[in-house]
Amino acid sequence: MVRAKRQDSEENDQLRELKLVCMDNLLATPEVRVYFKDLQSRFLLVSAGGDAISSPSGHTLAELIGKTDFDFYSQEHAAEAFKDEQEIIRNGESILGKLERETFHDQADAWVSTSKMPLRNKHGKIIGTFGITRDVTAQVKAENALAYQVLHDPVTGLANRFALMDRLGQALVAMERLPGRVAVLFVDLDHFKEVNDSFGHDAGDQVLAEVGRRLSRFSRHADTVARLGGDEFVVLCASLSDDDDVSLIADRIVEGVRPPFVREGCDLSVTCSVGIAFTSDPLAEPEQLIRDADEAMYEAKASGRDRYRVFDPSQHIASTAGRLKVDLTHAIESGELFLVYQPLFSLEDKTLVGVEALVRWRHPERGIVPPDEFIPFAEQHGLIGRIDSFVLDEACRQLAEWTSRDDWPIGFTMAVNVSGRELSETGFAGIVDEAIRRYDIAPQRLCLEITETAFIGAWGGIQETLAALSLLGVRIALDDFGTGYSSLAHLQRMNVDIVKIDRSFVENIGRSDRDREIVAAVTAMSHALGMSVVGEGVETDHQLDTLAGLDCDQGQGFLLARPMSAEAVAELAGGNRLGG
């Protein structure tokens, strides 16, 4: 009995000791700020991390005791903190991981993640609050930069394709409530390549920026001016009434782009061709509207450039879309589609770790057609399911053939692109399961690449399919990361194994600090969440070294290897070293 009691009190002593050690450690940790406050929200004790509040306002730690947030922070921020703490004291419930922007009297600010809990004495009575705050300014800034990057074109500062599609979608939906018309003006510079070739890319970029400024000037205030890439721009005119005359805007644009730009004493001049497409149908497909305007722009080019043309639907149906659909259906059935494979390398030891399967079309008249020219079309016209099934089957067959060889690299993976539309179809996981069984493939060797935009666009619909795929054991990669609108925080909710950083970031990694920081933040965050990271579109040694320096796991790009035939991959795997 006596012994039991002694043991008990020894254990209590140990526990007390442990609690004190824990508290000492916590109070001394510089990355976090720990504080105790009384019932009136006055500081009782502040940890070493409290330097963060003492420094901007010039207070020492000791001086904080007895003060309140109102002594350091802006009225607004202090009032909110005070309200939260009084709430905790009243109902005893904690507030966990709240993201707050702290603003100080001297205008300085910081982003923090704060958790606050009731502080109780040994009888359990609440005697104040206890808080832990972590500075997350760097992460929030990286996210904001990413959000800006995601919606803007870096050369002109205009909206980019993603922002444009978003606004076009909104403009169409708005016609449900308020009937009217939407016009898309597709603007393409004439012979722009000559400017780049004779004056260099810097001059080219300056011309693009100036054209961007002029387009903004000649369009209406509420219009969206966007750069799609290259020398292609779009002006979106939403909520047009019958009186609005879009041809006036088109005239102004064609005439306004013509006057020469003065650069370093030289006159540079370009002209542009404009195609216009209209719709008053809220259910119109945004991509289709852009394609119609694009087609009208080609008409303008064909009739001599430096002018505009309006899209004529009757001509269109007979010509392009109808024929393409017949051709593509025929291509799928008669085996004109085939695969090439682009190698992926480990950035650590430069060994071959896998390939991405990319589809090509061997067209009897046009030669080899790249996927960008028929995949979006196939998605629109209900043909993508058959293409993706063909690619999945052929890629699995090839993978099985390769990995049956004794000398094939261990851990080698095959990545296959899957359209977002496919994923929201029920039964897709079943198709994958069947392919794996048919060729007896280890599921973790197969990786399905899904674009970030598909992830977000079909958020609800694809969750079940993704869960089923996870159960099968295949890997999921988030493709083209950075081109859709997902923040770093989104990553956490997505059930993915691999993040593929889009080519546009890798391209600028050597030139822009912002892009480098974004890649660093994405990599760190992905690693923290147990995902690996692939840098896409590596074209220079500098990009390769920078990615490796930022701890990126794998690289893919023309510098390392171009998409190639299955035979060429086999040869490479024999050497199994970059450049070896």
Complex with ligand C2E: residue 246 or 339, whichever CB lies closer: 339
Name residues contacting ligand C2E, limited to 529-548 (CB under 6 A): 537-539
Q: How far, in Å, CA of 219 to CA of 46, rounded?
A: 57
Instruction: Choose the contact partner of 557 out of ligand C2E, Ca ion, none; CB within 5 to 8 A by kind.
Output: ligand C2E
Residue 375 binding ligand C2E, by CB under 6 A: yes
**Residue 537 binding result from ligand C2E, Ca ion, none, given CB thresholds of 5 to 8 Å by partner type:** ligand C2E
- The residues that touch Ca ion, with contacts defined as CB under 5 A, are 417, 449, 479-480, 536
558 binds, among Ca ion, ligand C2E, none (CB under 5 to 8 A by kind): ligand C2E
Please identify, among the stretches 144-152, 292-300, 305-313, 364-372, the one whose residues bind ligand C2E according to the rule CB under 6 A.
364-372
- Classify the C-alpha dihedral 430-431-434-440 as positive or negative: negative
- Taking the least distance from each CB to ligand C2E, the nearer of 212 and 420 is 420
Cα(473)–Cα(205) distance, integer angstroms: 46
Q: Which of 459, 414, 416 shows the shortest CA–CA distance to 441?
A: 414
User: Concatenated DSSP letters for 439-478?
Assistant: HT--GGGEEEEEEHHHHHHTHHHHHHHHHHHHHHT-EEEE
358 contacts ligand C2E (rule: CB under 6 A): yes
Interface with ligand C2E, residue 203, by CB under 6 A: no
**Per CB under 6 A, which region of 39-47, 123-131, 225-233, 557-565 contacts ligand C2E?**
557-565
CB of 211 to ligand C2E, least distance (A): 23
Dist CA 398 CA 401 (whole Å): 5
Q: Is 479 in the site for ligand C2E (CB under 6 A)?
A: yes
* Residue range at the interface with ligand C2E (CB under 6 A); choices 97-105, 134-142, 397-405, 553-561: 553-561
Interacting residues with ligand C2E between 395 and 424 (CB under 6 A): 417, 419
By DSSP bridging, strand 498-501 and strand 232-240 are: unpaired
Interface residue with ligand C2E, options 184, 187, 310, 391 (CB under 6 A): 391
Degrees (nearest 5) of the Cα angle 294, 298, 301?
A: 135
| The only residue of 27, 236, 272, 359 in contact with ligand C2E, by rule CB under 6 A | 359
Kindly tell me which of 246 and 522 has the beta carbon lying closer to ligand C2E. 522
What distance in Å separates the CA atoms of residue 294 and residue 297, rounded to the nearest whole number? 5
Alpha-carbon distance 453 to 15, whole Å? 52
Please say whether the beta carbons of 428 and 465 come within 8 A: yes
Structure tokens at 466: 């993704």
Please give the backbone phi and psi of residue 416, each rounded to the nearest 5 degrees, phi first: -125, 130
Question: Would you say 394 or 479 has its CB closer to Ca ion?
Answer: 479
Question: What SS3 state is found at 108?
Answer: coil
Residues lying near ligand C2E in the complex (CB under 6 A) are found at: 342, 358-359, 370-372, 375, 388, 391, 417, 419, 449, 479-480, 503, 537-539, 556-558, 563
